[in-house]
Amino acid sequence: MHDVDNANELICIMKTWKFIESKPMSINNWIFVIGPIAGYLIERYGCRVTMFCGVFLASSGLFSSSFATSVYHLYITYGIIAGG
């Protein structure tokens, strides 16, 4: 229950600071979103499995961006999948 309270507090802080409503999230703001998710996955599956999945997603995004034929494909493959 302690982790859920912290996540709810984080969402309230983000809404108070207007990260979500007022401007697009930058790389620094994504740490607040991805951090609790990564922490949960590490506790559940372990560091090695979580790291392998992250490396697999990043490398598959970078590899698939080499086949992009338009800028929109790069937005999806490099920007979202690879986390660029």
**Average pLDDT score over residue span 23-32:** 63
Q: What is the pLDDT of residues 28-61, one digit of tens each?
A: 667 778 888 889 999 999 999 999 998 998 899 8
H helix or E strand, kind and range, residue 76: none
Torsion of the alpha carbons at 50, 51, 55 and 57, rounded to the nearest 10: 20
Q: Count how many Cα atoms sit within 13 Å of the Cα of residue 43 in the half-sphere of its side chain.
A: 7
Q: What is the pTM of this model?
A: 0.58
Counting residues of the chain whose pLDDT is more than 70, the rounded percentage is: 62
